[in-house]
Chains A and B, each alone.
Chain A
């Protein structure tokens, strides 16, 4: 046990399990295979690259949950983290 654990309450392993499972089941239920995710990722890179320079290596996409604006609670969401290398306008061909 680290000394910092005495001051900052660590998340219990039960809660860690619950959070991991929630995320895992959302992507399981969405039935998105890693191959399809890879294809989506490559398409996103292609589209965004038309307009700005992005870090294709650092791009991360996953299916998670988000609060819906409607009244049906949480819904699955496609979350993409796309690091931009250069915001400057890419010459439009």
Chain B
């Protein structure tokens, strides 16, 4: 049997609440829309979240800890998405603690999944403790999510340092929740500032969009929908797959086009 060229991507940020889980759900769903076979693993043991964002919370039987402990086979624990038959979730355990899984166990599980999936996305917990170590141990590449705020950027910088120390050489930045009105007033750092400070390649910019809250309320990721953030997520998926995609104009005055050109020159 030939092994599919699969890629294991960890979605991480350091700081909590910047949008890791939302990014994982939307990027995973987006890759499935592009006909890839995708599995999302919630590695935040004790604080299960990805299942509700995907609207799959009522279907959980087994979880990540059951699989690594051998209580069940991974196929029994995988939950098929409601809409996309090529999208699966491996939920985290709600009643266990972070030390229930080791980096070695995580690597072993991911290597098994590589045989079946094109993309394996690991939703990383906040912080830099055991859960983070587990998630990055198994990853080929990383997506660092940040918002244009000092605290989130500081943590992102620390995360980038740890990714390098752990030999993850391919990592990209998603700047989440940008508000172009505030950027225009000078009250929010712009994309160029954030990229310059972190010196890391950009892979996506997602605007602050109330549709995200609405989509999470319903448990249906909005990637692919006719909203700015929906389009931004589709573009991230295409870039992950190696396609060159222009950055969206989030402000209608050509500002983002200039930035897109700026990054093309630098890539």
Contacts and interface: CB of A to CB of B under 8 A. Distances in A.
Tell whether A and B belong to one assembly. yes
Interface of A: 12-15, 17-18, 20-22, 24-25, 28-29
A14 B157 contact: no
Contacts of A29: 157, 161
A18 B197 contact: yes
Contacts, number: 36
B187 A13 contact: yes
A14 B150 contact: no
User: From DSSP, what is the main secondary structure of chain A's interface residues?
Assistant: helix
A15 B265 CA distance: 24
A14 B179 CA distance: 12
A22 B186 contact: no
- Chain B facing A: main interface SS: helix
Nearest to B154: A24
B183 interface: yes
A12 B197 contact: no
Contacts of A25: 154, 157, 197
A15 B189 CA distance: 7
A12 B148 CA distance: 14
A22 B197 contact: yes
Interface string B193-211: 1000100000000000000
